[in-house]
Amino acid sequence: MTIKIKRATKICLVVVMMTVTLVSLYLNRSHDSEAAEHEDELSYALRAPRDQVFEPVLPDSPVILPRDFAFQNKFQHGWWHFFANVKDRKGNEYGVQWSYFRVASNDSGMSGWLSPQLFISHIVISSKDQVWREQRVARGGIGQAGMTVQPFKLWIDNWYWRSLGKTPFPGLLDVKTDEFAINLKTLTKGPFVIPGDRGYVPKHDLLPIASHNLTSPFLEVRGELKLDNNKVVSVSGQGWMSKEWGSGLLAESQRGWDWFVVHLDNDMTMSLSRSRHDKQLSYSFGTLSSNDGKVERLDDSEIIIEPLNETLLENGKRVPLQWSIKVPKHGIDVTAQALNSDIWLPFIIPYGEGPIKTTGTHQAVGFMQLTGY
């Protein structure tokens, strides 16, 4: 009986601590009631609190590998993304998405049960007709989630990405839920890319908002998906991984962003972002990465990103699922379309994300992420 009481008490403490952390995040919203009407949970979580002093993102702090695969707990946020466009042996297409967030509720730097770190992970599989998704949330400091540098491992409960070296590759993504499971091996087929100015990526030319970034645009993915009724599907395809960290990933007037990753061909991958603001014009920026190590930064004057139509989702949100993307300097003129319209992820940090196909100058695949709608 004593053991059961202790276990129940521990569970209650975990729930209370997680609730306190989430409440503190949500209370950091703007006092401007008119602006707050347009904000959502993503804004509350990714906007830097005014009463906390986190490490600033500065251009004189270059990203260094493999050092910066580790956590940077002095910053408010850390955000890992993994996308994979894969096919089974019959040619059926699937998208696989794994996200791993670290969000600090305050700048105390305390450990154990007093750790301000909250970890959130999302896993999503999508086909043209169906979506499987789940999230996990864990406190930092108590071993439920975390990271080791060598060998590299990110985990939350029984979900993990691991490798045997100091980098994420060759890597294994192993996720098990009650409804589905993922076991994917990923190899690099090209160089790591440090975008922007040595990893310093400003998100607007007039606003003080930036982050540190590193990406792996050329990945080969193979493995198995376990879907309905324990059906095992062998898949293979292309992948992308990125890591972003900073303190405040949204500016005060920013509504959200639209982000597109497109594997233009086996030798070139494009990443484009478009930030939307209440009182300013949208601002676009991006990177063209080639398999021979060439990296070109694209600024707002070189990119045209426009929504073509909006789709009314079941939750009442109107979200653009078809886009025109042009980079005239490089002869890129494509229309991007979501593979599945069930793109919205109703998680603690809600956003839209899913695989896309493009038509036009490049018949390609990739991923789209939409926030702030």
Residue 370 buriedness (CB in 10 A; 0-12 / 13-18 / 19+)? buried
- Cα 360 from chain centre: 27
Confidence of residue 107 (pLDDT cuts 50, 70, 90): confident
Q: What are phi and psi of 282, to 5 degrees?
A: -65, 155
Please say if the pLDDT value at position 42 is more than 90: no
Total count of domains within the chain? 1
CATH number at residue 239: 2.40.370.10
Instruction: Look at residue 43 and tell me if it is in a domain.
Output: yes
Mean pLDDT of the region 33-37: 37
pTM, 2 dp: 0.85
Instruction: Look at residue 257 and tell me if it is in a domain.
Output: yes
Instruction: Look at residue 297 and tell me if it is in a domain.
Output: yes
Of 252, 272, 279, residue with least CA distance to 30: 252
Confidence of residue 347 (pLDDT cuts 50, 70, 90): very high
How far apart, in whole angstroms, are the C-alpha atoms of residue 64 and residue 192? 11
The runs of H, that is alpha helices, within the chain are 2-26, 33-36, 41-46
User: How far, CA to CA in Å, does 220 sit from each of 172, 184, 240?
Assistant: 12, 10, 9
Please say if the pLDDT value at position 247 is more than 80: yes
> Bridge-partner residues for 334, per DSSP?
325, 360
Confidence of residue 12 (pLDDT cuts 50, 70, 90): very low
Burial 286-318 (b: 16+ CB within 10 A, else e): bbbbbeeeeeeebebebbbbeeeeeeebeeebe
Please say if the pLDDT value at position 199 is more than 80: yes
Please say if the pLDDT value at position 28 is more than 90: no
Instruction: Look at residue 61 and tell me if it is in a domain.
Output: no
Mean pLDDT of the region 60-83: 93
Of 190, 215, 356, residue with least CA distance to 267: 190
Of 307, 202, 300, residue with least CA distance to 251: 202
Instruction: Look at residue 339 and tell me if it is in a domain.
Output: yes
How far apart, in whole angstroms, are the C-alpha atoms of residue 225 and residue 321? 26
> 3-7, 177-181, 282-286: which range is least confident on average?
3-7
Counted residue by residue, the chain has a size of: 373
Instruction: Look at residue 57 and tell me if it is in a domain.
Output: no
Please say if the pLDDT value at position 5 is more than 90: no
pLDDT, residue 332, reads 98
Could you list the residue range(s) of the whole structural domain that residue 174 is in?
2-50+67-370
Instruction: Look at residue 172 and tell me if it is in a domain.
Output: yes
> Bridge-partner residues for 36, per DSSP?
none
Please say if the pLDDT value at position 125 is more than 70: yes
Look at strands 145-148 and 232-246 and give their pairing. Answer: unpaired
Please say if the pLDDT value at position 25 is more than 60: no
How far apart, in whole angstroms, are the C-alpha atoms of residue 41 and residue 3? 38
Mean pLDDT of the region 244-271: 87
Mean pLDDT of the region 316-322: 93
Instruction: Look at residue 163 and tell me if it is in a domain.
Output: yes
Please say if the pLDDT value at position 372 is more than 50: yes
